[in-house]
Chain A
Amino acid sequence: MRIEDFKDKVFSYAKKKGFDECELRFTREREFGVVVSKQNIDNYNDADSLKVTFKGLKDSKAAFSSCEIVDEDSVKFLVDSAYENLLVTDTLEEDSIYDGSGEYHNPQFFKDEFEKLPVRNKIDIAKTMEQKAMAFDKRIAMVMMSVYSHERYEVSVFNTKGLNLSESAGLGAAYVYLVASDGKKPKRGFKVKFGSKPSDIDPEKVAFEASQEALSQLGAESIPSGKYRAILRRDVFSELFFAFMPIFSAESVQKGLSPLKGKLNSKIASEILTVVDDPLFEKAPIKRSFDNEGVPTRRKPFIDHGVLTTYFHSLKSAKRDGVKPTGNVFTYKCTPLNVVVEVGKKSYEDLIKQLEKGVIITALDGLHSGVRTVSGEFSVSALGYYVENGAIIKPVEQITISGNILELLRRIEEIGTDCDLVSGSAYFPSILVENIDVAGSGS
Chain B
Amino acid sequence: MLENRIVERLINEGIRKGADFVEIFAEDRSSTEMTMIDGRVEVASSGREFGIGLRVFKDEQQVYAYTNDFSEKQLSLVLNRLIDALEIKNGVERSINMINKDVKNSHLIFFYPQDVSKSEKTKIMKRAHEGAKNYSNLISQVVIRYWDYDQKIFIANSDGLISQDRRVRTRLMVNAVATKDSEQESGFFGPGAAMGIEFFNLLDPYDVGVEAARIADRMVRADYAPAGKMPVVISNAFGGVIFHEACGHALEATSVAKGASVFAGKLGQKIASDCVSAVDDGTIPNAWGSNNIDDEGTPTQRNLLIENGILKTYLVDRFHSKKMGIQPNGCGRRQNYKFAPTSRMSNTFILPGKFLPEEIIAATEYGLYAKTMGGGSVHPATGEFNFAVAEGYLIEKGRITKPVRGATLIGKGSEVIQKIDMVGNDLSRGQGMCGSMSGSVPADVGQPTIRVTELIVGGRSK
Give the interface of A toward B (CB within 8 A): 34, 37-38, 40-50, 63-69, 74, 77, 81-82, 84-93, 119-120, 123, 142, 144, 179, 185-188, 222, 225-227, 255-257, 259, 365-366, 368-370, 372, 374-375, 377, 379-381, 397-403, 437-443
Contacts and interface: CB of A to CB of B under 8 A. Distances in A.
A162 B64 CA distance: 40
B340 interface: yes
Interface residues of B, number: 84
A67 B460 CA distance: 47
B179 to A, nearest CB: 8
A401 B38 CA distance: 33
A301 B258 CA distance: 46
B406 A85 contact: no
Given A41-B62, A88-B118, A142 B408 contact: no
11 contacts: A38-B258, A41-B63, A43-B437, A44-B85, A64-B44, A81-B46, A119-B81, A144-B258, A381-B384, A402-B459, A437-B227
Nearest 10 A/B pairs, CB to CB: A400-B458, A443-B228, A439-B227, A85-B44, A369-B375, A381-B386, A81-B46, A366-B386, A44-B63, A64-B45
A405 to B, nearest CB: 13
A368 B45 contact: no
Contact of B227 (A46, A144, A225, A380): A225
Contacts, number: 256
A443 B454 CA distance: 12
A185 B382 contact: yes
Given A50-B68, A365-B386, A439-B457, A84 B85 contact: no
Given A381-B458, A437-B461, A366 B140 contact: no
Given A375-B184, A379-B388, A369 B377 contact: yes
A439 B119 contact: no
Contact of B460 (A41, A259, A437): A437
A88 B122 contact: yes
A259 B185 CA distance: 10
Contact of B228 (A67, A257, A381, A441): A441
Contacts of B412: 398
Contact of B44 (A43, A88, A381): A88
A93 B35 CA distance: 14
B40 A226 contact: no
Nearest to B70: A69
Most chain-B Cβ atoms within 10 A of its Cβ — which of A40, A86, A89, A119? Answer: A89
A214 B266 CA distance: 25
A439 B46 contact: no
Contacts of A37: 258
B41 interface: yes
Interface string B381-419: 110101110000000000000000111101110000000
A34 B165 CA distance: 30
Interface string B60-104: 111111111100000000100110111100000000000000000
Nearest to A178: B381
